[in-house]
Amino acid sequence: MENFRGEGQTGKTYREVNGRQEGIFRRFFSGLVTGCMSCGCLFLLVLAVATGFSIYYFCNNDGSCKDGKNSVSLSPGNEYSEEYISGPEESSRRIAVIRVNGVITRDEDAPLNTSAISGNIVRQLQQALEDGTVKAVIMDLDTPGGEVTASDEVYKKILEVRKTKPVVAMMNTLCASGGYYIASACSPIVANKYTLTGSIGVIISAWNYKGLFDKIGLKSEVYTSGKMKDMLNGARERTPEEAALVKDLVMSAYDGFVQVVSSSRKIPPEKIKSSIIGDGRVMDGKQALELKLVDKLGYFEDAVKEAEKLASGKDFQVFRYEEKFSFGRFVNFLLSKAPSTVLVSLPGEGSEGVRIRKGVLYFLPYGY
């Protein structure tokens, strides 16, 4: 090894060979970059290299990643990694935090930054259920609501987890409609005094553009097997029979929502339907407490204390689930076609827009 670092013949030979290798690599990467620039994928190349380097640099050989207090465990047997929040890191008694952030949907291809995909939430609940070190769960809610079916799937799973482990709801900025539906499966429910919640109701919407079509001389021709098959066709007015059918669908889902709230909060269904509780309005945390829709006003730390109390202990490690990096999902995202849903972003209806699926029942406040 001395000669490789010195000025001897061996060192000279090493430098000559190494220089030729560097020239080869330089030409190879130069050609690769030039080719990528010509086909417009240089950005993807840089991103792929940076991602690979990050995984190699930040992760240990055992698959775990650490960044000071924020540790992420990439256990092969778990679908979701874990991000440390607080408490003793070495504790075997833990509280899992599951986020419901954005519009609740069953659409697995929905953008993760604006959507709460019910499948992800249900799988995280299952992971917490199977983990013997998890003694309690906190549902960290910041959502306007979403699809009726998606909300109901999460609600059902929370009830399953509660058979063996307590589940606490923490309402943040917004926890309305479908968000409250999910929260009602938890006990207790903690809300910030400024949280916007409530909106107990069901909505289904469709555009009616018949007037516009009449002005521009455009007609829609639809051929159906039955008179109700195109009842949400926006190119014509609804018939009274169609309007009654849609209303029945909405009220059926609403009755189910009322039963859920009644069972959870011990409020008679008739009182919910005949009072401001069930008229679809949004209210703040203080009003919700007065109406017995939440149990306590507080912050995330208060939800942790409630979870510790129910789990009968202290010095719990608190962590949240995070989705593991999946190169396959990343590639699918890059190659995915335009979604079949519609991105609605109108003035006063949310800054980022919401993917609305046509003809789907929603637990949402009006304006989403």
Tell me which residues are annotated as active site. 177, 229
Q: Is 40 left (phi over 0), alpha (psi -120 to 50) or beta?
A: left
Contacts of 32 (CB under 8 A, 6+ apart): 45
Question: Six-digit token pair at 5?
Answer: 């670092």
Q: What separation in angstroms does the CA of 368 have from each of 28, 146, 176, 196, 204?
A: 52, 9, 11, 14, 11
CA distance 277 to 294: 12
User: What is the tally of helices (H) and strands (E) in the chain?
Assistant: 12, 17
Residue type, 52: G
Angle at 23 between CA 18 and CA 24, to 5 degrees: 95
CA 44 – CA 332 distance, rounded (Å): 13
Question: What are the structure tokens assigned to 55, written together?
Answer: 């995984």
Alpha-carbon distances, residue 77 vs 23, 80, 127, 161, 350 (angstroms): 44, 9, 10, 20, 39
Which whole-number Å values give the CA distances from 340 to 286, 337, 353, in the listed order? Answer: 40, 9, 15
Query: At 112, phi and psi to the nearest 5?
Result: -65, -25
Strand 80-86 relative to strand 317-323, pairing: antiparallel
DSSP structure string for 178-207: HHHHHHTTSSSEEE-TT-EEE--S-B----
Q: How far apart are CA 33 and CA 93, in angstroms?
A: 51
d(CA 45, CA 29): 11
Helix, strand, or coil (residue 93): coil
Question: In whole angstroms, what is the distance from residue 23 CA to residue 26 CA?
Answer: 5
